Amino acid sequence: MTGASTWAKELFATPLAALLTLVSGAFMTWLGWLALSWLLFHAVWPWQPAGLCAVRTGLCWPFLFEKTRLILFGTYPFDLQWRALAASLLLLALAALTGLQMIGRTRLRVRAFVVIWVSGLGFAVLLLSGGVLGLSPVPSVFWNGLPILLFLAIAAIAGAFPVGVLLTLARDQGAYPVLRRFATLYIEVARGVPMLTVIFVGVFVLPLMLPPGTYIAPVPAVLIALIFFHGAYFAEDLRGGLQSLSRGQREAARSLGLGYWKTMGLVMLPQAITRSLPSLVNSIIGAYKDTSLVVVVGIHDLISTARMSFNDPGWRSQALEAYILVGLWFFASCAALSAIGRQLQKDRETERGRVSQE
């Protein structure tokens, strides 16, 4: 009772607070009303005829029952879609494992981790493309929906990480000025242009750069472009971590007789990566969300398959349902990534507290 009354007091403590409460309360009520009438009052329920969706303005359940599979897997051959599903689950498992590793729930050795990643990605590609082990081949144009989104996002992030590390190392040394300048220029340019321009370079310019007569499909071309684009962002995050380490670390490693690669690989990079994990997770979330931009060059990720689903005559007015389904997926997956980021931030703060107490 007292809790409720103090709460009410807080909501209307000053004229300003009262005004804010009223305005935002009214706004939220309006949004809630819109949501309720869409979800419940004007909805077409699963047991009602689908034809009703064209007249009613609310959520159309029959559409979701009919089209969710199309939105998830697009034009991947219908009776082979178990492979697309398996590949998606495999990729999700890789992502989940990495998340657990980041927050310290699993403690795999680096080598084991790399082996798991490489074999996992390879196996996912194998499942999607087929052509061996009696799996019938499926060209990459048909890898639609969830699997292509996950594959492009996860493979690009995994590939961009070593690129970022190499760029950071090139930028953070003095022995090779040419390499340092090149890395700096590359990072600044990549961070100053829109991702779409880089995707365009991948699709249109990259094929020109290959020896005459070679062909590269759009999916690998975009993947290469994404790897080099995200690499620049990761490099910037890692540089922050590397610069926050004290000089003494490097000097101590050197005086122990470690060479450059051992100093970096055993002493500097592990600490720098741990320190830059929160900002790396932010960049990863951005990279994951931006992967959906590939629809512009005709790769059918979730957003594009959502478009396919309401392009059927008869389902024209169901665009919102399709997009909200995709939105729910993105919201859930990004929220999971953000949770990892928050956990990392918390770990870091408690660690800092412990260090300052000592």
Q: Which residues bind other proteins (CB under 8 A)?
A: 7, 10-11, 13-14, 16-18, 20-21, 23-25, 27-28, 174-179, 182, 189, 192-197, 200-201, 204-205, 207-212, 289-293, 295-296, 303, 307, 317, 319-320, 323-324, 326-327, 330-331, 334-335, 338
Are the C-beta atoms of residues 317 and 334 closer than 8 Å to each other? no
Distance CA 244, CA 168 (A): 14
Are the C-beta atoms of residues 95 and 346 closer than 8 Å to each other? no
Nearest approach, Cβ of residue 189 and other proteins (Å)? 7
Query: Which residues touch 42 (CB under 8 Å, ≥6 apart)?
Result: 56, 57, 58, 59
Nearest approach, Cβ of residue 322 and other proteins (Å)? 9
Nearer to other proteins, 117 or 182 (CB): 182
Nearest approach, Cβ of residue 216 and other proteins (Å)? 12
Nearer to other proteins, 19 or 93 (CB): 19
Residue 20: enclosing H or E segment and its boundaries? helix 15-36
Distance CA 132, CA 102 (A): 34
Nearer to other proteins, 104 or 162 (CB): 162
Nearest approach, Cβ of residue 138 and other proteins (Å)? 26
Distance CA 354, CA 358 (A): 6
Nearer to other proteins, 127 or 280 (CB): 280
Nearest approach, Cβ of residue 132 and other proteins (Å)? 31
Place of tokens 């990279």: 287
Nearest approach, Cβ of residue 121 and other proteins (Å)? 23
Nearest approach, Cβ of residue 288 and other proteins (Å)? 8
> Among positive and negative, which fits the CA dihedral 203, 205, 209, 215?
positive
Tally of CA atoms within 13 A in the half-sphere of 25 that contains its CB: 9
Nearer to other proteins, 98 or 292 (CB): 292
Distance CA 157, CA 20 (A): 42
The amino acid present at 265, given as its one-letter code, is G
Nearer to other proteins, 161 or 310 (CB): 310
CA distances from 202 to 91, 209, 226 (A): 23, 10, 8
The amino acid present at 106, given as its one-letter code, is T
Q: Cα angle vertex 348, ends 342, 349, to 5°?
A: 90
Nearer to other proteins, 16 or 132 (CB): 16
Are the C-beta atoms of residues 98 and 154 closer than 8 Å to each other? no
Q: Give the DSSP letter string of 173-188.
A: -SS-HHHHHHHHHHHH
Nearest approach, Cβ of residue 40 and other proteins (Å)? 19
Query: How many Cβ atoms sit within 10 Å of the Cβ of residue 196?
Result: 13
Nearer to other proteins, 139 or 194 (CB): 194
Nearer to other proteins, 123 or 200 (CB): 200
Nearest approach, Cβ of residue 321 and other proteins (Å)? 11
Are the C-beta atoms of residues 192 and 257 closer than 8 Å to each other? no
DSSP letter for 143, please. Answer: -
